[in-house]
Each structure stands twice: as C-alpha cells, then as structure tokens.
Amino acid sequence: MEEKKSCCHNDVEIKEHCCCHDKINDTKEEQCCCHNENEDKECCHHETSHEHSCCSHSHEDKVKEESCCCHNDVKKDEGHCCHSSKEEHSHLNCCGIDKKSHASCCGVEKNESGNAKRDNIINIIKLVISLAFLIAGYFNWHHIAIDAPWTIAFYYVNPAWVALIICGIPIVVGAVKSLARKKITASVLISVAMLSAVILEIVGFFYNIDSSGHSHSYVFVAAEVAFLMAIGGAIEDFTVKKSRAGIERLVGLIPKEAFVKVEDRLEKRPLEEIKIGDIVVIKAGEQISVDGEIVSGKASVDQSSVTGEYALAELKEGDKVFGGTFNKSGVIEVKVTKLLEDMTISKMAKLVEEAEGKKAPISRVADKWASIIVPVAIGLAILVGIIAYFAFNVSVIEAIIRTITVLIVFCPCSLALATPTAIAAGLGNSAKNGVLVKSGASLEVISKCDIICFDKTGTLTKGEIVVSDIAVDGIEEAELLKLAGSLELMSEHPLATAVVNKAKDIIFEKVDKFETIQGIGIKGLVANKNVQVISYGESAKQNYSNENLKNTANEYLEQGKTVVSVIIDNVERGIITFADTIREDAKEVIDKLNKMGKKTIMLTGDNEKSARFIAEKCGISEVKFGLLPEQKLQEIENMQKQGKKVCMIGDGINDAPSLKLADCSIAMGALGSDIAIETADMAILNSDMNKIVYCVKHSKRTLFTIKRNIILAMTVNFISIILSLFGIFDPMTGAIMHNVTSVAVVLSSALLLINRKENKNNTETKTID
C-alpha cells in the first residue's frame, strides 16, 4: 500500500506507475486517474501524468483505439482529439466541422456556441458590409482622387481594407493557431497569399512597380480572396449541415419531457427526472417520450424514426414502445422501463455521433495526402512563380501574382472534405433507414467482405415456434385441433402455445384429469375422450404408431421438424409438426447476396437435419451445424486465416462473441436489444432482411462517393495549377474555383442522403429529406 501511495511523489517511479490515486483516501489507491469521476479532465491536467496518460478512452476496445487525451495540452492538437468519443460534439474532421468553435476547411475561425439564428444574422451582416466595401475598392482610386480631391483618403486607404479586415482576420487567426501547433494548414496558405498581396500594395506606395495590366489595388486582391473564402465557408457550413441531416434529426428526436401520471392528475416533468416504473400518458398526435411497455390503451404508432418502417404499428397492452416515435391515434399509458440515457433513440444518436468521428481506413489515406499537399502546394507555388518569370518573361509582380494564385487554388479544403462529409451523409442515410452504423470503418468494410455468415434462429428464421403441418387419419383436422388445443390450453410449454395459436378460432372443450407427463407430453379427458399429446418417438415406443401416418411423420423428421402424436382413446389419430418460421424475405436476400459475389454460410448450433432444411429453403449452400459459441469463433478464425474478410449476421445475444470477432458484423432485429447495439458494428433495428442488401449496396455507394470526391478535388487542383502557370487564372478566379470545388465535393456527398430506386417492382422508393 505504501509503495502505491508513494508513486505520485517518487521521481524515479513516477513514469512507471499510475499516479492519480489518492494518498490520503485508501479506497482510491487502486484507482487510476482515467477511471475516476472526472475521468475526462483530471488525468490530463494532473501535473505528473500530463505527458503519459490517456484519459479520454472508453472501456470499450473499439472506442479506446480511437481516442486519446483531449485535455492534454501537449497532445490536444495532434489529431486524435478530434475523434474522441468523449467530446460533447463529434467532429467530421480536425479541420473542424463541429458545433463548437473551430477553423473551417477554408480557414475561417468560427464559433457556434451561441444562438444559431443570431450568429447567422451576424455573419450575413458581415458579408453584406464586406461586399459593399469590396465593390467600392474595385475602382481605381489613384485616378479618381485626382479629379475628386475629397476622396483623397481612398488614395491612401482603399475601401477594400474593411472587407479584408472583416473576412481576413478569422483566416489569419486560424493560421496563427495552426502554426502554434506546428502545423501548416489551408488557412496558412490563404494567409500567405493575402499577406503577399498586402505587401505588394505597401511596396506600391514607395516604388512604381509594373503591374502587367493590373488596374486594381493589391489590397483589393487580398480582400476579394478573403471575401470569397468567407462565402465559401458559409456555403460549406450549409451543405455540411445538409449532409448531417440524418444525424441532426436523430439528435432532435430525443424527447425532453413527458406527462407523468400522479394519482388522478398529469404532471409535466423533464425526462431526466423520470424514473423506471413511472406511468407516462401519451395522447394522439404526441411524441412518445419514453421507452416502455403499454399498460393501458391502444395506439397507431409511427416508428419510422427508429425502425425505418413507414407503416403504422398497431400497438396494444403489453407491447413495447420507443421514445422518439409518434402516437398517431389513441391514448396510451406507458410504464417506463429505461432511463433517458438508456433509451433506444438516445443510444442511436450517441453511437451515430461517435461513429461520425471514427475514421474509415480510406479517410486515413485522404488525411495523409492532405498533410502532404500543403507543403507541396507551397513548393509548387514558388516553382510556378520562377517558371513564369524566367520561361514566360513576365514581370516580378506578375510572377508573384501567379504564385499567390497557386496558393489559393491548391488548398486541400476539398480533399479534406471528401471523406468526412460522405461518411456523415452515409451515416445519416443509414440511421434514417433503421440501420445503426457504429463507425465509418464498418461502413467501408462490409462491401469488401468475401463471406457472409448467418446464424439460423432469430436471423434466417423468426425464432418463433409455430405449427407447420398437420396430418390426420380417421378424424377431421378441425376436430383434432379442437381436442389437442383444449388440452394444450392447460400447458405453458412453447409447443402448447403454438397449438393454441393455431386453433385460436376454435371454441375449446372443458378438460378434466389434466396431467403433465414429464419429458413426454400431456394427457387429459376432453369431451369424454382420453386425449394424449406426446412426442412421436414416445408414441412409437408405446406402440401407438399409425402405419398410415408413419411415412408422413418420417418425412417431417427428415426436414428437422419437431413431430408430436395426438392419441385419442389409445389410437394415433394425427400428428402435428412444429418448426421455426423462415423469414419471408430470407431466400430473396440470400439470392441477391449470391449474385453480388458474396459467399453465404450458415453457422448454427441446431441439429443437422433442421439446419440443412432451413439452408436449402433459403438457398445457402454451405452449412456448419451443432456449433457452440466458441466453435463459431473457430470457424470465423479459420476463414480469416485464409485471407477472407468475414461479415457475421446474428441476433446479437448468443452470437455476441462471433459478432465481435468478425471483420464486420450486423445484428438483426436489434431494436431494444442492448447487447446487439453494443456488440455489432451495424444494427438493423427491425427484422427486415432486405436491410442487409441495403447495407452492402450503401457501403459500396459511400466508398464510390469518397473516391469520386477525391478524384474531383485532385483533378481540379492540378488543372487550376496549370491555368495559374499560364496566367489564365488570377487570385479572384482561383478563389472562385477553390470554393466551387469544395462545395461540389460536399454536394456530391449530400447525394448519399437520397435513396436509390430499386429495380424490383415491389420495392418502395423513399426519398430522404
């Protein structure tokens, strides 16, 4: 104990041990600073652990890799902080598309911490004032002042200075901050370009320099660049917010308050004050504010915000409801089962926000290029100036102008926007369609998977035991169901429930002398007849087997179905078979995946006959059956050792280890399943298997968009350099081209918000707002 306490005060040991435990409070001596109540702050601000500890990590492995010490002054600006899951608002990129203060990709320092509407009005006023002074600065005041002496002030101070100060200072501030972090960013390039123009303006006061036809003040050139960058930044912000529409919508759906039933009255309370077990009343037209269970009333509920399904769900007592959905008709009382932070919509919003900051592998390639391009741009700009001066015999001033133009057009803004905006739009589209994608990486990986493995129960099947077939001999089917159903009504066995559901329209008879035969079945007196419902194997042992039913029973057994015999007055009069229900769209989805070149495999713990029957019905050629959870892991590991990328699809409960190990994983029917959302990379919130095909196609579409964005950005940049070299582009046209490219990239990403039409006639086309 003493050794641990001395750690924080021992200069020798300080770098090797955890030093955040409290030397006074013995109960904290084992506790590292990264796991105490203030885990986000204390560690990184602790004097001794400042440079050695990572404090923003989560206990989850997947998140832990993504983040590091965001409160450590040394590490803060190294790039990791922008992707910490602990940040209140995630970033699209470290160039910073965030709700807090940041430097935009165009280098403009922004602060959106206040009222958004007020800030927008202020920005518009600034742009209008800047535009007015920029237009005034366009004129040649050196000539005007000669004829109008009262304008002599503009001879020395061009009106464009006002526009330069308003629009240029935020860019320069962003550049200074970047340089303080020992980074060269886009704002640095723009600042250098503006500063060069200002220097030319100042030099022009003292020396008569050849402007090669340049008739405007050089400060006007600097101001127009700053103004165009400010305009570009505003458009960029608007289009980026559009690409985040799905994510913002999720955040906005999180309820704020609810009407709680207190004795004979309703009390309006913030959701933070609502406890598990409280009864909340939701009227027609209101948003359902809590996750819970209906204890009274019926309602038609729009669950599209959570499941992506647009058909109204007809819910009654005993059914679950989810916060963020909408009650279209009826009044219901809901018993709260989850607190605000644990609600499905809250978890969706949180995980999608976190996913936005988790980079896909392709984004790291783009970031690497962006970091290289900045110094390359400076080098190319100088080279263009030298070539223009010596090869094209232009003046020094014209060579400098062409250098400035290259600095403007070759800023990596569009490249920096290429990946994060596409990922944001992709995540927003997924969330809108009832698919929760937890990271940009998983959005990329699924399209590259060679093998897609399916669990059987709860994935390819509904996980609901139902009566599959009935065969009778010497009795009507309805009469058999009536007698068997009357008896099964007395039992709580899952098979009994299936029989009762099958016979739900039949009026049952009274049962006497009911008895459960452990491990065999049930028996009793129904309508003065001795009725037994027992396993088919036990029926054969007791010589009840009916030769007329034997072949039929064996066929069903070969299909892996459960078969029971109905014995009436010691004669086998019929058999009832039970099976898990195959999802209606399972075969169609498997066929689509096979056509896309994906190999489909079933991994199940079920018996061989049942597994092969389901696989054959679904169109899966390879089946691995009788697998325990650890054996499923071994199968996936073997596939990965062969160089294959594996996607595992399961129900998120018994498949949790496999979902974790696979290169990409999808949890089916994850709505309300905490372990599914926590374990899988993607979670389909309803049971629509077509969403699996959507995930693969959407992944490919997102990757294509990213690549298209990168190619567009790089192509335009290189063309602009050539045009700048030959003097076709000047700083103004260069700035316009720079902003047009950035906006084009973001608009390209925003196309991901629109769902594509399917060729299938029965597929409904939806448009994402």
Helix (H, G, I), strand (E, B) or coil at 704: helix
Among 576, 539, 586, 555, which Cα is nearest to 692's?
Answer: 586
Structure tokens at 322: 């989810």
Q: How far apart are CA 237 and CA 616, in angstroms?
A: 52
Structure tokens at 698: 């959407």
Among 351, 348, 343, 426, which Cα is nearest to 60's?
Answer: 351
Q: Strands 320-321 and 292-296, how do they pair?
A: antiparallel
Location of structure tokens 């101001």:
223
**Cβ neighbours of 497 (radius 10 Å):** 16
Structure tokens at 680: 């899988």
- Determine the Cα angle at 633 with ends 630 and 634, to 5°: 95
Helices 396-409 + 690-725 axis angle, to 10: 180
**Cβ neighbours of 278 (radius 10 Å):** 18
Q: How far apart are the first and last CA of the chain?
A: 60
DSSP H helices, 92-185, are 116-138, 141-147, 152-156, 160-180
How would you list the strands of the sheet with 320-321, edge to edge? 265-270, 257-262, 279-282, 332-336, 292-296, 320-321
Q: How far apart are CA 357 and CA 68, in angstroms?
A: 13
Report which DSSP code applies to 610.
H
Contacts of 1 (CB under 8 A, 6+ apart): 26, 29
Helix (H) or strand (E) holding 563: strand 562-568
User: 533 with 545: CB under 8 angstroms?
Assistant: no
Report which DSSP code applies to 327.
E
Q: Which residues pair with 259 in a beta bridge?
A: 268
Q: How far apart are CA 6 and CA 3, in angstroms?
A: 5
CA dist 26 → 18, 37, 682 (Å): 15, 16, 43
User: 240 with 746: CB under 8 angstroms?
Assistant: yes
Q: Which residues pair with 734 in a beta bridge?
A: none
Q: How far apart are CA 459 and CA 548, in angstroms?
A: 36
User: What number of H helices and E strands is found in the chain?
Assistant: 27, 24
Location of structure tokens 């959407």:
698
Location of structure tokens 């915000």:
305
DSSP string, 314-325: EE-TT-EE-TT-
Q: How far apart are CA 519 and CA 572, in angstroms?
A: 19
Query: Among all residues, which ones are annotated catalytic?
Result: 455
Among 475, 481, 445, which Cα is nearest to 644's?
Answer: 445
Contacts of 511 (CB under 8 A, 6+ apart): 486, 487, 489, 490, 524, 525, 526
